[in-house]
Structure 1
Amino acid sequence: MITSLLDGNKRFVAETFEKDREYFEALAKDQRPTVLWIGCSDSRVPVNTITGTKAGEIFVHRNVANIVATNDWNLSAVLEFSINHLNIPDIVICGHYGCGGIHALDAPHGDDKYIPVWLINAYKAKERVDEKIHALQIEVPQEQRMKLIVEENVRLQLEHLQEYPFVKKAMNEKILNVHGWVYDMSTGQIRVMKSHKNR
Protein backbone atom coordinates (compact mmCIF):
# COMPACT_ATOMS: atom_id res chain seq x y z
CA MET A 1 0.00 0.00 0.00
CA ILE A 2 2.82 2.44 0.84
CA THR A 3 4.34 1.96 -2.61
CA SER A 4 0.97 2.64 -4.23
CA LEU A 5 0.74 5.93 -2.30
CA LEU A 6 4.06 7.07 -3.71
CA ASP A 7 3.03 5.92 -7.18
CA GLY A 8 -0.18 7.88 -6.74
CA ASN A 9 1.84 10.96 -5.88
CA LYS A 10 3.83 10.59 -9.09
CA ARG A 11 0.57 10.44 -11.05
CA PHE A 12 -0.69 13.48 -9.17
CA VAL A 13 2.43 15.46 -10.09
CA ALA A 14 2.25 14.42 -13.74
CA GLU A 15 -1.51 14.62 -14.28
CA THR A 16 -2.77 17.27 -11.88
CA PHE A 17 0.04 19.41 -10.48
CA GLU A 18 1.72 20.09 -13.80
CA LYS A 19 -1.57 20.97 -15.53
CA ASP A 20 -2.47 23.48 -12.82
CA ARG A 21 1.00 24.55 -11.71
CA GLU A 22 0.08 28.24 -11.26
CA TYR A 23 -2.73 27.34 -8.86
CA PHE A 24 -0.48 25.14 -6.73
CA GLU A 25 2.34 27.70 -6.77
CA ALA A 26 -0.09 30.30 -5.44
CA LEU A 27 -1.22 27.84 -2.75
CA ALA A 28 2.39 27.31 -1.70
CA LYS A 29 2.64 31.03 -0.88
CA ASP A 30 -0.65 31.48 0.99
CA GLN A 31 -3.84 29.72 2.02
CA ARG A 32 -7.26 31.33 2.18
CA PRO A 33 -9.78 28.62 3.07
CA THR A 34 -13.33 29.81 3.70
CA VAL A 35 -14.55 26.81 5.70
CA LEU A 36 -13.21 24.90 8.70
CA TRP A 37 -14.40 21.28 8.45
CA ILE A 38 -14.55 19.28 11.67
CA GLY A 39 -15.24 15.73 10.57
CA CYS A 40 -14.72 12.09 11.40
CA SER A 41 -11.42 10.38 10.64
CA ASP A 42 -13.28 7.65 8.73
CA SER A 43 -11.44 6.90 5.48
CA ARG A 44 -14.74 6.69 3.61
CA VAL A 45 -15.50 10.39 4.08
CA PRO A 46 -12.94 12.24 1.90
CA VAL A 47 -13.73 15.92 2.40
CA ASN A 48 -12.63 17.39 -0.95
CA THR A 49 -14.17 14.51 -2.88
CA ILE A 50 -17.64 14.68 -1.32
CA THR A 51 -17.80 18.48 -1.48
CA GLY A 52 -16.31 18.90 -4.95
CA THR A 53 -13.67 21.31 -3.66
CA LYS A 54 -10.01 21.89 -4.52
CA ALA A 55 -6.90 21.92 -2.37
CA GLY A 56 -6.76 25.11 -0.32
CA GLU A 57 -10.51 25.68 -0.08
CA ILE A 58 -11.24 23.81 3.18
CA PHE A 59 -9.24 23.80 6.41
CA VAL A 60 -9.70 20.33 7.90
CA HIS A 61 -9.66 18.82 11.38
CA ARG A 62 -10.67 15.17 11.74
CA ASN A 63 -11.01 12.84 14.71
CA VAL A 64 -12.99 9.78 15.79
CA ALA A 65 -16.74 10.62 15.70
CA ASN A 66 -16.23 14.30 14.72
CA ILE A 67 -16.01 15.37 18.35
CA VAL A 68 -15.50 18.88 19.67
CA ALA A 69 -13.88 18.51 23.08
CA THR A 70 -13.09 21.69 24.96
CA ASN A 71 -10.06 19.98 26.57
CA ASP A 72 -8.56 18.97 23.21
CA TRP A 73 -5.54 21.24 22.68
CA ASN A 74 -5.18 20.10 19.07
CA LEU A 75 -8.71 21.20 18.15
CA SER A 76 -8.40 24.32 20.29
CA ALA A 77 -5.34 25.40 18.31
CA VAL A 78 -7.11 24.62 15.00
CA LEU A 79 -10.11 26.73 16.03
CA GLU A 80 -7.97 29.61 17.24
CA PHE A 81 -5.88 29.61 14.06
CA SER A 82 -9.00 29.38 11.88
CA ILE A 83 -10.80 32.27 13.52
CA ASN A 84 -7.99 34.59 14.62
CA HIS A 85 -5.54 34.15 11.74
CA LEU A 86 -7.31 32.70 8.71
CA ASN A 87 -10.53 34.64 9.39
CA ILE A 88 -12.64 31.68 8.31
CA PRO A 89 -16.32 32.68 8.28
CA ASP A 90 -17.92 29.20 8.40
CA ILE A 91 -17.36 26.09 10.51
CA VAL A 92 -18.97 22.79 9.53
CA ILE A 93 -19.24 19.84 11.89
CA CYS A 94 -19.96 16.84 9.69
CA GLY A 95 -20.90 13.42 11.01
CA HIS A 96 -21.75 10.38 8.91
CA TYR A 97 -24.07 7.42 9.10
CA GLY A 98 -22.31 4.14 9.82
CA CYS A 99 -19.81 5.84 12.15
CA GLY A 100 -17.73 3.29 14.06
CA GLY A 101 -17.17 5.73 16.90
CA ILE A 102 -20.91 6.12 17.43
CA HIS A 103 -21.40 2.34 17.30
CA ALA A 104 -18.71 2.01 19.98
CA LEU A 105 -20.91 4.00 22.38
CA ASP A 106 -23.01 0.82 22.65
CA ALA A 107 -20.26 -1.78 22.50
CA PRO A 108 -16.85 -0.61 23.71
CA HIS A 109 -14.00 -3.07 23.16
CA GLY A 110 -12.51 -4.43 26.36
CA ASP A 111 -8.88 -3.79 25.43
CA ASP A 112 -9.39 -0.17 24.34
CA LYS A 113 -8.22 2.46 26.79
CA TYR A 114 -8.25 5.73 24.86
CA ILE A 115 -11.33 5.33 22.64
CA PRO A 116 -13.85 5.04 25.52
CA VAL A 117 -12.36 8.11 27.23
CA TRP A 118 -12.57 10.08 23.98
CA LEU A 119 -16.15 8.98 23.36
CA ILE A 120 -17.29 10.36 26.71
CA ASN A 121 -17.62 13.58 24.69
CA ALA A 122 -20.38 11.97 22.58
CA TYR A 123 -22.15 9.91 25.22
CA LYS A 124 -24.83 12.54 25.88
CA ALA A 125 -26.04 12.15 22.29
CA LYS A 126 -26.76 8.47 22.94
CA GLU A 127 -28.51 9.32 26.21
CA ARG A 128 -30.73 11.94 24.56
CA VAL A 129 -31.84 9.62 21.78
CA ASP A 130 -32.52 6.72 24.14
CA GLU A 131 -34.50 9.00 26.48
CA LYS A 132 -36.68 10.21 23.57
CA ILE A 133 -37.30 6.66 22.35
CA HIS A 134 -38.19 5.56 25.88
CA ALA A 135 -40.53 8.53 26.40
CA LEU A 136 -42.33 7.80 23.13
CA GLN A 137 -42.60 4.11 24.05
CA ILE A 138 -41.86 2.98 20.51
CA GLU A 139 -39.71 0.31 18.91
CA VAL A 140 -36.90 1.75 16.82
CA PRO A 141 -34.75 -0.56 14.67
CA GLN A 142 -31.10 -0.52 15.73
CA GLU A 143 -29.89 0.92 12.41
CA GLN A 144 -32.34 3.81 12.68
CA ARG A 145 -31.38 4.37 16.32
CA MET A 146 -27.73 4.65 15.29
CA LYS A 147 -28.64 7.20 12.62
CA LEU A 148 -30.51 9.25 15.23
CA ILE A 149 -27.47 9.15 17.53
CA VAL A 150 -25.18 10.26 14.68
CA GLU A 151 -27.50 13.23 14.05
CA GLU A 152 -27.80 14.07 17.74
CA ASN A 153 -24.03 13.88 18.11
CA VAL A 154 -23.64 16.59 15.47
CA ARG A 155 -26.05 18.81 17.42
CA LEU A 156 -24.17 18.05 20.65
CA GLN A 157 -20.80 18.92 19.13
CA LEU A 158 -22.24 22.23 17.88
CA GLU A 159 -23.12 22.96 21.51
CA HIS A 160 -19.59 22.05 22.59
CA LEU A 161 -18.17 24.31 19.87
CA GLN A 162 -20.04 27.29 21.28
CA GLU A 163 -18.52 26.68 24.71
CA TYR A 164 -15.26 28.13 23.37
CA PRO A 165 -15.40 31.83 24.37
CA PHE A 166 -13.67 33.05 21.21
CA VAL A 167 -16.08 31.04 19.03
CA LYS A 168 -19.09 32.53 20.85
CA LYS A 169 -17.52 36.00 20.55
CA ALA A 170 -17.02 35.62 16.79
CA MET A 171 -20.61 34.44 16.41
CA ASN A 172 -21.93 37.38 18.45
CA GLU A 173 -19.88 39.74 16.29
CA LYS A 174 -21.53 38.14 13.23
CA ILE A 175 -18.24 37.12 11.66
CA LEU A 176 -18.72 33.37 12.15
CA ASN A 177 -21.44 30.90 11.18
CA VAL A 178 -21.57 27.28 12.35
CA HIS A 179 -23.27 24.39 10.59
CA GLY A 180 -24.11 20.78 11.42
CA TRP A 181 -24.18 18.25 8.57
CA VAL A 182 -24.42 14.48 8.16
CA TYR A 183 -22.97 12.58 5.21
CA ASP A 184 -24.82 9.52 3.94
CA MET A 185 -22.33 7.04 2.47
CA SER A 186 -25.14 5.05 0.83
CA THR A 187 -26.28 7.99 -1.32
CA GLY A 188 -23.26 10.32 -1.36
CA GLN A 189 -25.47 13.15 -0.14
CA ILE A 190 -24.94 15.62 2.69
CA ARG A 191 -27.90 16.37 4.93
CA VAL A 192 -28.06 19.76 6.66
CA MET A 193 -29.01 19.20 10.31
CA LYS A 194 -28.58 22.64 11.82
CA SER A 195 -27.11 26.06 11.03
CA HIS A 196 -26.42 29.16 13.07
CA LYS A 197 -26.12 31.86 10.45
CA ASN A 198 -25.36 35.41 11.49
CA ARG A 199 -25.61 37.06 8.13
Structure 2
Amino acid sequence: MTTIPQQQKESQEVISVSAALKEQYDAIRALGSQKAWPFQTGNPLVAFNTGLVGLVSNSFFRRMLMVRRGLFLSSLPMAAIPGITMTLVYPMVISTPILVGDIQCPLCASLRAGALGLTLGSVFPFLLSIPLNSALAISYGTMEVPMFSKKTSFSEALKFWQKKIRYFKGQFISIAIFQTLMFAFVADRQFTLAHTELDVQFVKASR
Protein backbone atom coordinates (compact mmCIF):
# COMPACT_ATOMS: atom_id res chain seq x y z
CA MET A 1 0.00 0.00 0.00
CA THR A 2 1.48 3.32 -1.07
CA THR A 3 1.31 6.41 1.09
CA ILE A 4 0.81 9.97 -0.16
CA PRO A 5 3.65 12.30 0.81
CA GLN A 6 2.70 14.94 3.37
CA GLN A 7 3.59 17.79 0.97
CA GLN A 8 1.26 16.36 -1.71
CA LYS A 9 -1.53 16.02 0.85
CA GLU A 10 -1.18 19.66 1.80
CA SER A 11 -1.25 20.75 -1.85
CA GLN A 12 -4.51 18.82 -2.31
CA GLU A 13 -6.18 20.39 0.71
CA VAL A 14 -9.57 21.84 -0.12
CA ILE A 15 -10.28 25.32 1.19
CA SER A 16 -13.33 27.56 1.01
CA VAL A 17 -13.79 30.22 -1.66
CA SER A 18 -13.66 33.01 0.92
CA ALA A 19 -10.43 31.64 2.41
CA ALA A 20 -8.88 31.28 -1.04
CA LEU A 21 -9.82 34.84 -1.97
CA LYS A 22 -8.46 36.20 1.30
CA GLU A 23 -5.11 34.51 0.67
CA GLN A 24 -5.00 35.75 -2.90
CA TYR A 25 -5.86 39.36 -2.07
CA ASP A 26 -3.34 39.36 0.76
CA ALA A 27 -0.74 38.22 -1.77
CA ILE A 28 -1.88 40.88 -4.25
CA ARG A 29 -1.52 43.66 -1.67
CA ALA A 30 1.97 42.41 -0.87
CA LEU A 31 3.00 42.85 -4.52
CA GLY A 32 2.66 46.65 -4.39
CA SER A 33 0.49 48.93 -6.52
CA GLN A 34 2.72 48.80 -9.59
CA LYS A 35 2.32 45.04 -10.06
CA ALA A 36 -1.12 44.67 -8.50
CA TRP A 37 -2.89 47.32 -10.61
CA PRO A 38 -5.02 44.83 -12.65
CA PHE A 39 -6.94 43.96 -9.48
CA GLN A 40 -6.55 47.16 -7.45
CA THR A 41 -7.25 49.58 -10.33
CA GLY A 42 -8.76 47.36 -13.01
CA ASN A 43 -12.03 46.59 -11.21
CA PRO A 44 -12.80 50.25 -10.32
CA LEU A 45 -11.82 51.24 -13.87
CA VAL A 46 -14.39 49.01 -15.58
CA ALA A 47 -17.08 50.21 -13.13
CA PHE A 48 -16.16 53.87 -13.73
CA ASN A 49 -16.23 53.44 -17.51
CA THR A 50 -19.64 51.78 -17.34
CA GLY A 51 -20.98 54.72 -15.36
CA LEU A 52 -19.45 57.03 -17.95
CA VAL A 53 -21.26 55.16 -20.73
CA GLY A 54 -24.47 55.72 -18.78
CA LEU A 55 -23.82 59.47 -18.71
CA VAL A 56 -23.02 59.57 -22.45
CA SER A 57 -26.21 57.63 -23.26
CA ASN A 58 -28.20 59.91 -20.97
CA SER A 59 -26.82 63.00 -22.70
CA PHE A 60 -27.71 61.63 -26.12
CA PHE A 61 -31.31 60.83 -25.24
CA ARG A 62 -31.79 64.15 -23.45
CA ARG A 63 -30.76 65.96 -26.65
CA MET A 64 -32.79 63.64 -28.83
CA LEU A 65 -35.97 64.15 -26.78
CA MET A 66 -35.22 67.85 -26.19
CA VAL A 67 -35.25 67.46 -22.41
CA ARG A 68 -33.75 70.60 -20.87
CA ARG A 69 -34.79 70.13 -17.26
CA GLY A 70 -34.09 67.42 -14.69
CA LEU A 71 -30.40 67.07 -15.54
CA PHE A 72 -29.43 65.87 -12.06
CA LEU A 73 -32.55 63.71 -11.85
CA SER A 74 -31.50 61.72 -14.92
CA SER A 75 -27.70 61.91 -14.63
CA LEU A 76 -27.39 60.50 -11.12
CA PRO A 77 -29.16 57.17 -11.70
CA MET A 78 -27.64 56.81 -15.17
CA ALA A 79 -24.14 56.99 -13.69
CA ALA A 80 -24.85 55.18 -10.43
CA ILE A 81 -26.94 52.20 -11.54
CA PRO A 82 -24.59 50.90 -14.30
CA GLY A 83 -21.48 51.72 -12.24
CA ILE A 84 -22.68 50.00 -9.06
CA THR A 85 -23.99 47.04 -11.04
CA MET A 86 -20.59 46.55 -12.67
CA THR A 87 -18.83 46.98 -9.32
CA LEU A 88 -20.77 43.95 -8.07
CA VAL A 89 -20.85 41.83 -11.23
CA TYR A 90 -17.31 42.13 -12.63
CA PRO A 91 -15.52 40.67 -9.56
CA MET A 92 -18.12 37.90 -9.32
CA VAL A 93 -17.96 36.93 -13.02
CA ILE A 94 -14.30 37.66 -13.85
CA SER A 95 -11.92 38.41 -10.96
CA THR A 96 -13.07 35.76 -8.49
CA PRO A 97 -13.09 32.88 -11.02
CA ILE A 98 -9.58 33.91 -12.09
CA LEU A 99 -8.29 33.99 -8.51
CA VAL A 100 -9.76 30.64 -7.47
CA GLY A 101 -8.69 28.88 -10.65
CA ASP A 102 -12.10 28.42 -12.29
CA ILE A 103 -10.89 30.12 -15.49
CA GLN A 104 -7.99 28.14 -16.88
CA CYS A 105 -6.96 30.03 -20.03
CA PRO A 106 -6.31 33.72 -20.81
CA LEU A 107 -8.50 33.60 -23.93
CA CYS A 108 -11.44 32.33 -21.85
CA ALA A 109 -10.98 35.22 -19.41
CA SER A 110 -10.75 37.80 -22.20
CA LEU A 111 -13.78 36.46 -24.06
CA ARG A 112 -15.90 36.35 -20.93
CA ALA A 113 -14.87 39.88 -19.94
CA GLY A 114 -15.36 41.19 -23.48
CA ALA A 115 -18.90 39.80 -23.56
CA LEU A 116 -19.57 41.45 -20.21
CA GLY A 117 -18.22 44.77 -21.50
CA LEU A 118 -20.44 44.58 -24.57
CA THR A 119 -23.65 43.66 -22.76
CA LEU A 120 -23.63 45.04 -19.23
CA GLY A 121 -20.97 47.65 -19.95
CA SER A 122 -22.49 49.09 -23.16
CA VAL A 123 -25.96 47.84 -24.10
CA PHE A 124 -27.39 47.96 -20.56
CA PRO A 125 -26.66 51.68 -19.90
CA PHE A 126 -27.91 52.54 -23.40
CA LEU A 127 -31.24 50.73 -22.94
CA LEU A 128 -31.62 52.02 -19.38
CA SER A 129 -31.54 55.63 -20.55
CA ILE A 130 -34.47 55.17 -22.96
CA PRO A 131 -37.37 54.77 -20.48
CA LEU A 132 -35.87 57.24 -18.02
CA ASN A 133 -35.56 60.10 -20.49
CA SER A 134 -38.79 59.18 -22.24
CA ALA A 135 -40.59 59.58 -18.91
CA LEU A 136 -38.94 62.98 -18.44
CA ALA A 137 -39.91 64.07 -21.96
CA ILE A 138 -43.53 63.17 -21.24
CA SER A 139 -43.46 64.77 -17.80
CA TYR A 140 -42.06 68.07 -19.11
CA GLY A 141 -44.03 67.92 -22.37
CA THR A 142 -40.97 68.36 -24.61
CA MET A 143 -41.89 65.63 -27.09
CA GLU A 144 -44.54 62.98 -27.62
CA VAL A 145 -42.89 59.60 -27.23
CA PRO A 146 -44.74 56.91 -29.22
CA MET A 147 -43.54 54.10 -26.96
CA PHE A 148 -45.68 55.50 -24.14
CA SER A 149 -48.61 56.70 -26.24
CA LYS A 150 -51.83 54.70 -26.65
CA LYS A 151 -52.57 56.50 -29.92
CA THR A 152 -49.70 54.91 -31.85
CA SER A 153 -49.17 51.32 -32.94
CA PHE A 154 -46.12 49.22 -32.14
CA SER A 155 -44.80 49.54 -35.70
CA GLU A 156 -45.05 53.34 -35.56
CA ALA A 157 -43.25 53.43 -32.23
CA LEU A 158 -40.55 51.13 -33.60
CA LYS A 159 -40.03 53.39 -36.63
CA PHE A 160 -39.78 56.42 -34.35
CA TRP A 161 -37.03 54.88 -32.24
CA GLN A 162 -35.17 53.46 -35.23
CA LYS A 163 -35.14 56.91 -36.83
CA LYS A 164 -33.91 58.57 -33.64
CA ILE A 165 -31.33 56.00 -32.58
CA ARG A 166 -29.65 55.75 -36.00
CA TYR A 167 -27.92 59.09 -35.34
CA PHE A 168 -26.26 57.57 -32.29
CA LYS A 169 -25.40 54.25 -33.97
CA GLY A 170 -21.84 55.19 -34.92
CA GLN A 171 -21.05 56.55 -31.46
CA PHE A 172 -22.59 53.51 -29.78
CA ILE A 173 -20.58 51.08 -31.92
CA SER A 174 -17.38 52.93 -31.02
CA ILE A 175 -18.27 52.86 -27.31
CA ALA A 176 -19.19 49.16 -27.45
CA ILE A 177 -15.91 48.25 -29.19
CA PHE A 178 -13.89 50.25 -26.67
CA GLN A 179 -15.70 48.70 -23.70
CA THR A 180 -15.29 45.19 -25.10
CA LEU A 181 -11.56 45.62 -25.70
CA MET A 182 -10.93 47.40 -22.41
CA PHE A 183 -12.73 44.73 -20.36
CA ALA A 184 -10.88 41.99 -22.25
CA PHE A 185 -7.53 43.73 -21.62
CA VAL A 186 -8.13 44.09 -17.88
CA ALA A 187 -9.16 40.42 -17.61
CA ASP A 188 -6.07 39.34 -19.56
CA ARG A 189 -3.81 41.35 -17.22
CA GLN A 190 -5.58 39.89 -14.19
CA PHE A 191 -5.15 36.36 -15.49
CA THR A 192 -1.48 36.94 -16.28
CA LEU A 193 -0.82 38.40 -12.83
CA ALA A 194 -2.70 35.58 -11.11
CA HIS A 195 -0.76 32.87 -12.92
CA THR A 196 2.69 34.43 -12.77
CA GLU A 197 2.79 36.06 -9.34
CA LEU A 198 0.20 33.98 -7.42
CA ASP A 199 -0.23 30.25 -6.88
CA VAL A 200 -3.66 30.12 -8.49
CA GLN A 201 -3.04 26.71 -10.01
CA PHE A 202 -2.71 25.24 -6.50
CA VAL A 203 -5.91 26.71 -5.10
CA LYS A 204 -8.80 24.29 -4.79
CA ALA A 205 -11.86 26.08 -3.49
CA SER A 206 -14.79 24.15 -2.07
CA ARG A 207 -18.31 24.94 -3.24
- State TM-score, norm by structure 1: 0.28
Q: Which has the larger radius of gyration?
A: 2
- State TM-score, norm by structure 2: 0.27
Structure with the bigger percentage of strand: 1
Structure number with higher relative contact order (C-alpha < 8 Å, ≥ 6 residues apart): 2
Structure with the bigger percentage of helix: 2
